[in-house]
Each structure stands twice: as C-alpha cells, then as structure tokens.
Structure 1
Amino acid sequence: MPDLVLRTIDGAGDLLVEELRGMPSVCSIRRLSADTVACTVDGPLDELLACGLYFSAGPHTWMRRFGPLERLPWSTNPVVAEVIVRLAKIQPGHQVLDPFCGTGTILLAVRRRTPAAHVVGTDHDRHALGIAATNGCRRLARAEAEALPLEDRSVDRVVTNLPFGKQVGSHELNRTLYPAVLRELDRVLTADGRAVLLTEDKRLLENAIHRQRGLKVVRQRLLKYNGATPTAYILTRTR
C-alpha cells in the first residue's frame, strides 16, 4: 500500500480530500497543510491518477498524467481550471460556456469532469483559439465576451478566468468590460444558471455585480498559487 503526498493549490485542499474520499482504493486521507494531502492507496492507481485536482504525487505529475498542453503565458493554470469547474457543479447535458476560453484549459477540464456536457468556448484572440483547437477543443468561436453569439437563456453554466488587468487587459479596460460581460451573462444564463468567475480585480467585479442586480454572489473561494491570489466568485440569479 504505497503512501503518496499530493500537492494542490492553497484553497483547494478540501475539494481534493472530498474527491479522494469517493475513491474506493484510497484510504488514510489526511491534510498536511493548506496545499498538501497525504493518502494511502490500496489497489490500482487509476482513479487517483485521473483526478485533476493536484499537480504531482511523486513521479506522477500533472503533465505526465494528462499530456502536454500548448499554452500562452496567461493561460489558466490547469489545476485552477479543475477547481473552478468543480465549483460550477456541471451536470450531464448542461450547456457550458467559457467566454474567455483562450487556449482551452477550462474547456478541457469540463470535458474531463463531465464528458456528457456540451462545451462552447469563445474568445476574441484568433491565435489563442487556434491553440485551443490544437489542444483538442471542438466548439470554438471568435467573439467578444460583451456580445456573445448565443441565444437568450441558452447556457446552464459559465466558467471562466476573467482578464485580471495584469498579463491580459488592464484595470481601466475592466471598468467597462466587467459590467458588459455581466449583462451578457444575465442574458444567456438559464433561470437556474450558475457562473464561476475568477479574478484578482475583485473590488471592481464586486461593484459591477452590485450595480448589475440580475446576478448575485452566493459563494467565494480564495485561491493562492505562484504569487497570485484570485478569488472565484460563484453567481446565480437574483430572485
């Protein structure tokens, strides 16, 4: 029964523990720190190696488990993508959108987690969309997130990494971008839709949500990795 130490991101340890508890071959699960979980495996490693919520377990790195991804400097961290996809609570048959899909990291995480979901990615960057296609993403479209080519009330889940205004965009541009994006999400989300928005431009997003009024924050989760401290905001419709 090999003992393994799994390294995730600070803010996702509880999600990793919960997932490990659902694996019959994994036992003796214990938190060692905010981003480290130890466990014992009694049986095949298949279930554990298929879990996307950790970077490495000894020689079993994320890259070796899921293969190489073509990326840009601002592409979403793969484990972060897995975390926010779980926060979205996607079900089979759901229509799922990433309106800032970039190279497709979140789209691929949705497909791994819920293969029967219908996933669409849009972005204004043709080069990024080309990389997403190379990475295996299928339903892609070039579009501005402020004017999505989607029908009203047609999307069950939105999962996206918003421009922080650091590597992509700017804080000044976000002043108009965030309100416009929220208006579009209010338009395309179904009545029981859910959105998970990740950003470090937190005050700006919170103010935009407050002014928009069609959507509300029901939960927040702070993540810490590689010097970044973004928050994942989980939104549903106001009643």
Structure 2
Amino acid sequence: MSEAGLTRPPPVLAIDGPGGAGKGAVSRLVAGRLGWHLLDSGALYRLVALDARQRGLGFEAEQALAELAARLDARFQSQGDQTRILLNGLDVTEAIRSEAAGDGASRVAAVPGVRQSLVERQRQFRQLPGLVADGRDMGGVIFPDAALKVFLTASLEERALRRHKQLKDKGIDVSLSALSRDMVERDRRDSARAIAPLKACDDARILDTTGMDVPAVVAIVLEWVAERVVP
C-alpha cells in the first residue's frame, strides 16, 4: 500500500437535509449495511438545548451556551442495535426526541460559539472503516472532504405527516397543523442563520424523498456509495 493510502482519512458519507426528510432512519440503516460508524449530529445540539433548559439557561445567553457546549457531559452507549444517550449520567434517549428539544436544538445551533464548540467533537467520530454523518451542515462545514454528500428533502406536507406519525407511535398527541407551523419556522431559522445555514452543497446529490419509503431511499444511497466510495 502506498504512503498516501496509509494516511488517507476514513471515508465519510454526509447526509444533510431538513427535519422529516428521512435523514435519521436512512443514515442508521446505511451505516448498518456498510458496517460504518454513525454520527447523529442533531443529538448533540438537542443535548445542549436540554442541558440548558435543565439549568434554567435562556437561549439568548450565547456565551453561557457556548461554555455549556464545550463541557457537555454526553455519552453514547451501544446496546445491541440500539444506542442509549446519556446526559450528565442520566438516560435522555427519549427526552431529546421531543419537539421541544428539536426546537431548542434549532435555536442553540444558531449560536456561533455553540457550533464552534461542537465542531471538533463531531470530527472525532471519523474513524475506520468509515462514518455516516447525519445532520444539517455535515457536507458543507464538518466534513467538506466527504467522499459522498447527499441532501435529502421532501415536501412540507410529507415531512409533517412523517413526524406526526412518529409522535403518535410514541403516544404523543400533537396537531398536524401545529407541527407544520413549527417545521416552517424551524426551516426558516435553520436556513437564515449566519453560520452554516441549511442548504445543499454544490457537490451534493439531492434526493427528494416525497412518496418514497425508507428502504427505497436506502437502496439509492447505497448505489451512490458503491459508485463513489466503495472500490
């Protein structure tokens, strides 16, 4: 093997897109099929938001939020095919998937100091044999040299319906109209922020998942991986 081959960093598949586009499910399944590591970057921002709420810290306290993100006590523990997420030693796997945590994540993600504090932490997930990175700025900011960049999208109606079903399956009652309004506001906030706004990279492959089920999307992404990443 050449010296270049020995020093080449592990490959990264960056999957970005708005909430409800299918990033999470697709990323988990693709990572499992490839035997690669998985980075759920949104979980880190949700953890910062949850930690801030628990400490009574307002989202306008930018310096304090940045310091909180820098010392975030978070651990990801694999248990079979599941990953449990601990914050300050407590299991918050379900708590960070609430709509409140998602809204909080969007707010803290707009704080430059928070994003900077989490950049290196996210890059540490890049290990052999490879990494599937799920988020909103994986291809543009965190891993600009990703071997393959995918941007998943879907219509607002479909994204809201998917999220509504996820919440109902967990026994959480929320109106579809309220969910749609929240998504519109979160999209606006994520796309308008000054640092790492939500948008597809120029070199990303864009896939509209409207009307598609998860296995179909996974199959397409794996085809792209075979073309671009796996020799």
In terms of fraction of residues, the more helix-rich structure is: 2
TM-score exceeds 0.5: no
TM-score by length of 1: 0.28
In terms of fraction of residues, the more strand-rich structure is: 1
